[in-house]
């Protein structure tokens, strides 16, 4: 009975939706996640939209993820977004990333004072790559033609200035790491990196407001 149930589960096609609407998947592709994702991407492109979110059994799955996922899944929910909406959505993603980083930095400035040095180093090196994500998103938004303050100075510092300031802050932090200076490191996190993130969060909030008024 158990083997029969497994075989039936294997042959039952998953429920696939795009923007809440059911999608018919070709029979030979019904248990192939990569093929299903490609099919959905083509459907979105035919409507001049792009695939924005792809969930398998409730879990987000990137294009790389589907390469290693199995054939047994019950549902796929996909969402697409129009090119005109992409800039605003990416601004909101960058805002969420920045707010999450603010929380992590606030915790890190205390953790580096109370942990052994190998843990202190790990705390920073786990944080460091994530600071570039919002800025890279802003660069993509700029390439799409969405205002990023390049021509409207009241929106905050321009994008290149954010890059330069981050590079300066990273150099200070890495100097404190090289000197094994936990107090100096904590101070740099609180008084250099913290304000930089606050500025970036304000900048993104203003961009979001401007994008909202233009839609």
The tens-digit pLDDT sequence of the chain (215 residues) is 444 444 444 567 889 999 999 999 998 888 899 999 999 999 999 988 888 889 999 888 888 788 888 788 899 999 998 866 777 778 888 888 899 999 999 999 999 999 999 999 999 998 988 888 887 777 766 665 554 444 444 444 567 788 889 899 999 999 999 999 999 999 999 999 999 999 888 888 887 777 666 55
29 C-beta neighbours (distance < 10 Å), count: 15
Structure-block tokens of residue 207: 């961009």
Sheet architecture: strand order including 49-56: 21-22, 15-18, 75-82, 49-56, 59-60
Contact (CB, 8 A) for 159 and 166: no
pTM of the model: 0.64
CB 196 within 8 A of CB 98: no
């Amino acid at each position: 009975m158990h083997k029969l149930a497994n075989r039936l589960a294997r042959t039952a096609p998953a429920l696939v939706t795009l923007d809440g609407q059911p999608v018919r998947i070709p029979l030979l592709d019904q248990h192939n996640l990569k093929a299903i994702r490609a099919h959905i991407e083509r459907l979105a492109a035919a409507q001049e939209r792009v695939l924005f979110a792809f969930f398998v059994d409730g879990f987000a799955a990137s294009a790389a993820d589907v390469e290693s996922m199995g054939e047994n899944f019950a549902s796929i929910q996909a969402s697409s977004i129009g090119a005109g909406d992409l800039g605003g959505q990416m601004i909101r993603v960058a805002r969420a990333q920045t707010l999450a980083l603010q929380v992590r930095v606030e915790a890190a400035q205390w953790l580096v004072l109370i942990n052994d040095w190998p843990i202190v180093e790990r705390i920073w090196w786990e944080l460091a790559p994530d600071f570039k994500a919002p800025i890279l998103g802003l660069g993509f938004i700029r390439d799409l033609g969405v205002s990023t303050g390049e021509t409207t100075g009241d929106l905050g510092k321009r994008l290149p200035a954010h890059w330069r300031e981050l590079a300066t802050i990273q150099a200070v932090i890495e100097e404190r790491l090289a000197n094994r200076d936990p107090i100096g490191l904590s101070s740099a996190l609180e008084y250099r990196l913290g304000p930089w993130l606050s500025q970036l969060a304000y900048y993104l909030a203003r961009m979001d407001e401007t994008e909202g008024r233009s839609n």
